Amino acid sequence: MKEISAGGVVYREIEGRKEVQLIQDRYGKISLAKGKMEQGETVEETALREIIEETGIQGRIVEPLHTIRYQYQSQVHGTVDKEVHYYLVEAASGTLQAQVEEIRGVEWCELQDAWMRQREHGYDNNDEVLQLALHKLGYEVDGQ
């Protein structure tokens, strides 16, 4: 079985500095807003819908960032081939508010802080996604 999800690295610019949105998922890990594609949606529509649902922020896709592929075991479907499409998304409107049914919290972080939090408390497969987004926003992570 194949499962497709989509989400994004959401950013905003406040008083000349850029910030990105990080969520804390239900397991306490740092992550990015994402979710499963619904019938009839494009991956872009899925990304924007999931961002609104999970964080309260309406965004505009700037460009694709990266697609992560992995497998996991489902009790119902067995081995599932998972594909997650990530986009760089500019915040357009809305009020930051976590969807408490799905995630523990959401916040805006300065770029350097976001990278440190991802490295310390995030999922390894999100490293490249966030690194690409930060690069496009003008921040180079250590070691580049």
Q: Mean pLDDT, to the nearest integer, of 130-141? A: 95
Provide DSSP, 71-111.
EEEETTTEEEEEEEEEEEEEEEEE-----TTTEEEEEEEEH
pTM above 0.75, yes or no: yes
Helices (H), 1-144: 43-55, 111-121, 127-136
Q: Which one of 3.20.20.70, 3.90.79.10, 3.40.50.740, 3.40.640.10 gives the CATH number of domain 2-136?
A: 3.90.79.10
Say if CB 74 and CB 51 are below 8 A apart.
Answer: no
Confidence of residue 144 (pLDDT cuts 50, 70, 90): very low
